[in-house]
Amino acid sequence: MKKPIDILEQYWSFKAFRPLQEEIIQAVLEGDDVFTLLPTGGGKSLCYQVPTLVFDGLCIVVSPLIALMKDQVETLKKKGIKALALTSDYRSSEIDTMLDNCIYGNYKFLYLSPERLQQDLVQARIKQMHVELIAIDEAHCISSWGHDFRPAYREIKILREFHPESPMIALTATARPKVISDIINELELREPSIFRNSFRRENLSLEVYTESDKHERLLRILNKSTGSAIVYLRNRKSTVSMSEFLNEHGIGCLVYHGGLNSDEKHKNFEDWKNNRSRVMAATNAFGMGIDKADVETVIHFNLPESLESYYQEAGRAGRNGSPARAVLLKNEADENRVRNQFLKVLADVPFIKEVYRKLSSYFQIAYGEGAYQTFDFDYTAFCDRYKLNPVLTYNALQVMDRNSIIAVTPQFSHQTELQVVVSKDVLFRYMEKHLDLKPVMLSLLRTYGGLFDVMTKVNPLMISKKLNLDEIVLIDALKKLYTDEIIDLNLAETDAQITFIEPREDDKTINRFSDIINQQKRLKTWQINNVIEYINDDTQCKVVKLLNYFGEEINDPCGICSVCKTDRPVEKPNRRAEIETISKALSHKALSSRDIIKLTDLNEERVSYLIKFMLEKDLIEITETNTYKLTD
């Protein structure tokens, strides 16, 4: 039998384990059930990957994150380790073959979602596999008190029925004591060995600042460092505008959000990971599995929806142990905004029932029928027909999806596709005669390779943004190119698919989950209140406050967070020296207060005071353009 340390060096080229990894692996090898709580960057995946390579058989990994499954399988394959993931990319016949490979093909890892595990075919084949370890990733999803509850996780314990002798390891990065207890009970772990590493990160400075001009403070933060950074924002549109803003100010920035196709996501991630672009402007879609140790700064431009998600995202900074910052910027409007964004749009039980009934009518599903029927779904058309609030309706659909009443699948398989069906000479002659269509065609050619050779998936929304066109105008242009027989075109007409999992029973269908829905609503309110309390508390060390929230009884201040730095004794400012600094800056040209802050590195409050003082003493005067200059 190989030793774990030898496997670590052979496949990962590490000479030593991180804290707790070796103890966790040893417990698994001894056949114990294990609960593992390691913060982001703690190396959770090695805790089941290394022992699996010691065992003869297979490890089944249950995960809710398709992107992370794909990434881990790709990484394992590059190391020469046989692994596969049962994702929605594959047809039923392909899934059948893949399951056979796990039985007969010497595979070491099978990744699947909890929903996939519920399929009869998958269960039947798993019974035949030589399973030596069951790993439950993102285990907090099993708890209704967790921040990302998925009822399908509660069916995972069926794996224990299939392979009662195999140890089970549950892994998560953030969980409060109540959630930990819930995970252990729901998975029916047998006298588990529990391993918890402190959430404390000695190298990570947690900072919260109130800023009237967040963009200005953001530029100052990024200009003070040269390292890699992530800026987390509320939505897709914000990431695009932030990327444009930073690039305009000479800071290379890419975007990452759920609306990008897989090729765009991969390219942007690789460019950022390999430091071809310094900053990533991202939604929370830029999450698990980010393998980049040298991130120097993580900035939350908007308030997060929970302290769990905040600390996971903040923890992506400084994973190499070097000094790093996690900065949260807030202003007076943020509290109302976060309540409106996350609380006022929560769908209650009566509204969810209404959406479910209308959804059944929309697809003409009779009472008692509909189970496992799938339909193309135009979300906008559905909301328009029944005059439904789009945000509330979206959230209602998500609740039904999480509770396995329906399954909502983005229609990635039916994206818009096109191919140029004329020669290059003919195309360019056509563009010279149709100058209004030329920018569209040129943008497509520059963005997508192989348009002359094969049908190619394209993203009309992205192209329309590049050209500053309304998407409807772009679609009309594509239709014109198709009519004129310049391109072959398959135009997507729906944006999702809906699969009804439960037979239609109207109120009864939703009533079975009403207690969970109401509990989740109370939990979300509690989480938002904790976020607001965290950002407004300027009396307690930020690290101590966060660790207490996660159940760690620590009272030793970190010394480097925004509260600790404010509490440090500071020397009385030397007003004369500061006035000389500002005067020197103004000796070249008139400047705004913002320019003075940039050039002098004095903070906004201090510059405001000094400008007022210098105006009173007639040392400076205001120009017609509201800048300041030295008095003649």
Most confident residue range from 65-74, 558-567, 581-590: 581-590
**Is 367 exposed, middle or buried, given 0-12, 13-18 or 19+ CB atoms closer than 10 A?**
exposed
Any idea which of 23-27, 444-448, 504-508, 602-606 has the lowest mean pLDDT? 602-606
What is the distance between the alpha carbons of residues 304 and 494, in angstroms, rounded to a whole number? 31
Buried b (16+ CB within 10 A) or exposed e, 513-526: bbeebeebbebbee
**Kind plus residue range of the DSSP H or E element containing 62:** strand 58-62
Q: Are residues 174 and 213 in the same domain?
A: no
Residue type, 471: E
pLDDT tens digits, residue range 149-196? 777 888 898 999 999 999 999 999 878 888 999 999 999 999 999 998
**Kind plus residue range of the DSSP H or E element containing 420:** strand 417-420
* In 521-585, beta strands by DSSP E: none
Q: Are residues 75 and 158 in the same domain?
A: yes
Q: Are residues 177 and 72 in the same domain?
A: yes
Within a domain: 149: yes
Say yes or no to pLDDT of 103 above 90: yes
Any idea which of 103-107, 336-340, 347-351, 464-468 has the lowest mean pLDDT? 464-468
3-state DSSP call for residue 330? Answer: strand
Within a domain: 396: yes
pLDDT for the residue numbered 414: 47
Neighbours of 317 (CB within 10 A): 31
The tokens describing 606, both together, are: 């201090």
Q: Are residues 10 and 159 in the same domain?
A: yes
Q: Are residues 444 and 381 in the same domain?
A: no
DSSP code for 619: S
Return the CATH number at 599.
1.10.10.10
The count of structural domains within the chain is 5
Give the distance from CA 521 to its chain's centroid: 21
Say yes or no to pLDDT of 568 above 60: no
3-state DSSP call for residue 351? Answer: helix
Work out the average pLDDT over 81-110: 88
Work out the average pLDDT over 545-565: 89
Within a domain: 473: yes
Work out the average pLDDT over 513-524: 85
Closest by Cα among 235, 206, 228 to 314? 206
Q: What are phi and psi of 167, to 5 degrees?
A: -70, 155
pLDDT tens digits, residue range 421-449? 999 999 999 999 999 999 999 999 988 88
Closest by Cα among 182, 114, 143, 115 to 519? 143
Look up tokens 């818009």; give the residue.
Answer: 416
What is the distance between the alpha carbons of residues 377 and 379, in angstroms, rounded to a whole number? 6
pLDDT for the residue numbered 412: 43
Residue 470, C-beta contacts closer than 8 angstroms, at least 6 positions apart: 464
Q: Are residues 394 and 438 in the same domain?
A: no
Contact 352, 510 (CB under 8 A): yes
Q: Are residues 51 and 122 in the same domain?
A: yes
pLDDT tens digits, residue range 188-226? 999 999 998 888 888 999 999 998 889 999 999 998 888
Within a domain: 336: no
Query: What is the chain's mean pLDDT, rounded?
Result: 88
pLDDT for the residue numbered 531: 94
Say yes or no to pLDDT of 235 above 60: yes
The tokens describing 541, both together, are: 């060390």
Return the CATH number at 252.
3.40.50.300
**Kind plus residue range of the DSSP H or E element containing 150:** none
User: How many secondary structure helices (H) and strands (E) does the chain include?
Assistant: 28, 21
Neighbours of 176 (CB within 10 A): 18
Within a domain: 531: no
Work out the average pLDDT over 107-135: 92
pLDDT tens digits, residue range 399-411? 888 777 888 876 5
pLDDT tens digits, residue range 237-263? 899 999 999 999 999 999 998 778 777
Residue 614 lies in domain = 575-630
Within a domain: 511: yes
pLDDT for the residue numbered 289: 58
Work out the average pLDDT over 446-461: 83
Of the CA atoms within 13 Å of residue 104, those in its CB half-sphere come to 5
What is the distance between the alpha carbons of residues 588 and 610, in angstroms, rounded to a whole number? 19
Contact 520, 455 (CB under 8 A): no
Q: Are residues 191 and 209 in the same domain?
A: no
Q: Are residues 174 and 37 in the same domain?
A: yes
Contact 208, 277 (CB under 8 A): no
Return the CATH number at 364.
1.10.10
Q: Are residues 305 and 391 in the same domain?
A: no
Kindly indicate the confidence band of residue 495, based on its pLDDT and cuts at 50, 70 and 90: low
Q: Are residues 181 and 255 in the same domain?
A: no
Say yes or no to pLDDT of 571 above 60: no
The tokens describing 433, both together, are: 């005669």
Within a domain: 384: yes
Within a domain: 530: no
Sign of dihedral through CA atoms 617, 620, 622, 627? negative
Residue ending a domain, among 514, 545, 564, is 564
pLDDT for the residue numbered 413: 43
Neighbours of 247 (CB within 10 A): 15
What is the distance between the alpha carbons of residues 226 and 501, in angstroms, rounded to a whole number? 50
3-state DSSP call for residue 629? Answer: strand
Work out the average pLDDT over 280-295: 81
Q: Are residues 515 and 390 in the same domain?
A: yes
Length of the chain: 632
Any idea which of 8-17, 47-56, 511-520 has the lowest mean pLDDT? 511-520
